[in-house]
A and B are shown apart, each in its own frame.
Chain A
Amino acid sequence: AQKVTQAQTEISVVEKEDVTLDCVYETRDTTYYLFWYKQPPSGELVFLIRRNSFDEQNEISGRYSWNFQKSTSSFNFTITASQVVDSAVYFCALSGINNDMRFGAGTRLTVKP
């Protein structure tokens, strides 16, 4: 069975701080995909990144970066120099060979001015 765990339910930081959101996954598949989505207070889900299991290179996109480590089954997300607009719920998700997409419970990030 596939499972995604986001142990941090809520995180609160002050603007300009760096923050890392943890994601640990479980799967028996050798081929799988990992995703991060953002859900701002308005409620919509915004795609951030998709990573396949064969690509362990870290990715950086502006203030966002992702660290994928198969050895620890983790796909952590770091926001550098956080801003108030980063306040949202962030979901990590996993899709395996059976194409069954599983979401974590989400981490609510609050960035205070």
Chain B
Amino acid sequence: NAGVTQTPKFRILKIGQSMTLQCTQDMNHNYMYWYRQDPGMGLKLIYYSVGAGITDKGEVPNGYNVSRSTTEDFPLRLELAAPSQTSVYFCASSRGASGRRETQYFGPGTRLLVL
């Protein structure tokens, strides 16, 4: 049981490039989330999903897109990378029985640097 896994661990992008951050969970959780953590700050919710085929915006969705075709996977897409997107990105999942107030389990994070 690997929990929540994220790839890559670290990536450098040039301004304007695109990339997809991968997130997979093997706990059969319904809810999945993407957060970003800027230096010295707490986490801010980008997007979340309550199940396959259903996604919704969080607090800071601009510049990102998501999809949820399976229960296990929740990729985050950056279409035109900007320096403001330099951050550490965390994926998380929760069972979903009590909505988003449940305990969320986090992946190890992806550190992204946009130059």
User: Is A bound to B?
Assistant: yes
Report A's interface with B, CB cutoff 8 A. Answer: 4, 32-33, 35, 37, 43-47, 50, 91, 93, 95-96, 99-101, 103-106
A20 to B113, CA, bound (A): 34
B41 touches A44 (CB 8 A): no
User: If A104-B42, A106-B42 touch, does A99 touch B103 (CB 8 Å cutoff)?
Assistant: no
**One of A96, A100, A106 near B41 (C-beta < 8 A):** A106
Size class of B's contact patch? Answer: 20 to 34
B101 touches A95 (CB 8 A): yes
> Which residues does chain B contribute within 8 Å of A106, judged by CB atoms?
40-42
Q: List 21 A-B contacts (CB under 8 A).
A: A32-B101, A43-B88, A43-B108, A44-B108, A44-B109, A45-B92, A46-B106, A47-B105, A47-B106, A96-B101, A99-B101, A100-B58, A100-B59, A101-B45, A101-B100, A101-B101, A101-B104, A103-B43, A103-B44, A104-B42, A105-B40
- Distance in Å from the Cβ of A31 to the closest Cβ of chain B? 9
A105 to B38, CA, bound (A): 10
A35 touches B103 (CB 8 A): yes
A62 to B89, CA, bound (A): 31
Nearest to A108 among chain B residues (CB) is B40
A34 to B44, CA, bound (A): 16
Q: Which of B97-115 contact A (CB under 8 A)?
A: 99-109
